[in-house]
Structure 1
Amino acid sequence: MARVWIDDLWLKNDNGVPPSSTAKRSLAAVSNPMRAQVPERWRSSRYGRGMRWRCRWYTIEGTTRRQHSKSFVKLSDAEAFKAAMEDDVRRGRYTNPADSHRKFKDVAEMWLRSKNNVSKGVRARYECELRVYVNPKWSDVPIGAISMDDVSQ
């Protein structure tokens, strides 16, 4: 199951003690964070500056685990992004933005390796169609450069 974490970039723990609910409510109630009743011990170095909320998630690329993040001004936006991201991963719709640079032939080889539950005849047909029709045109093209119009043609 995919996980997305939401971090508050303005508040931090003080020796393992998280900010009090009073401090959090005070910060949420004011438009200017400098007027909030938040003790210095819970203020991070970027308190009051920049976007407050950050969503973090990890992807596995080869054998390495890579962290990605996106920042938001409002907690509600971060929570909506988190829900959408977890839904995309659960349904198999998530794509890593870095994958758009991968060449078509590499992705096609991966796809072909994933076809374990097909008969030998179907597998042979897939290999033949890739070799004869698809790879001559698309093998060295990055996946992100292929549009729906290109496929239709």
Structure 2
Amino acid sequence: MARAWVYDRTKDKTYNEAVRKAKDAKRTPPARWMVRYYDPSGKIKSGGTFKKKPDAEKRQTEIENSLHEGSYRNPHDGKVTVGEMAEKWLTARTDIKRSTWWKYRALLDTHVLPRWGDLPLSAVHTEDVAVWVAQLQKPRDEGGANLGSSQTRLAHGVLAMVLGWCVPRRIPTNPARGVPLPKPSEAEHVYLDHDQVERLANAAASLRTAYDQVAASAHNNRALILLLAYTGLRWNEAAACGSQGGSVPSADPRRDRLRGSRRRAHRAASEDGQVPYGPDPAVPGRGTAAVRRRPAG
């Protein structure tokens, strides 16, 4: 049995009546030739109507080839909006940290959904995504979002992940892939004085997300910033300071105590196991953070 065929609608009384009414009203009559086919689920679908039979036969061949190659997709699947699929995608992301989840939520709400949320998946094209990426970097007075290169790449990455989640079930390819992206800007080295370090550490200790949620790392932030600022540890060395050999530094928020610190932190500590921080020793207000020493031997 053929999976696609051309049907002559003049065999239907309803069609003939529609043609008669159209002629009486001096309107263009409906097309005569209809392409019909069985989709992979066995349901009969319409492949469109055509005035000329050769055009209908061409469409019939296209559908038969797509069914044979396995590249067929129900046109209805591509009509689902980007916004609907983005919500499903984010809900399904149970494999990421809570802080990352909220970061994706903020990028969707601020940059992705306002532009793409109401569009069907099939209406998203690579050239439009490229224009959107360029627009994100423009100043606000020019209608842009004034984003830096890193934030632009993050916003594009979220859109690309949403669209990639829909391949190949709803769209054949990801239109966000292959879009020119801004190169990551080289980080400018900024050196803080003692007062700035103290303010940064205090602010990080009370850090909250855009949705007024306590940041996952807030309880460790102050001790970690002081450790990095005054002991000379690299980030990977500080990350190896977990109390149980974990990858995240463990700190007691009540005493700013860093457990399991590395050798360089011990060398920086004084005889009583305190790492000094803050202004010059002669200035009141100089503080210390306790560092537990390893047993001798």
* TM-score > 0.5, shorter chain as reference: no
Q: TM-score, normalised by structure 2?
A: 0.26
More strand by share: 1
Structure showing greater relative contact order (alpha-carbon pairs closer than 8 Å, 6 or more residues apart) = 1
Give the number of the structure whose alpha-carbon radius of gyration is greater: 2
Q: TM-score, normalised by structure 1?
A: 0.43
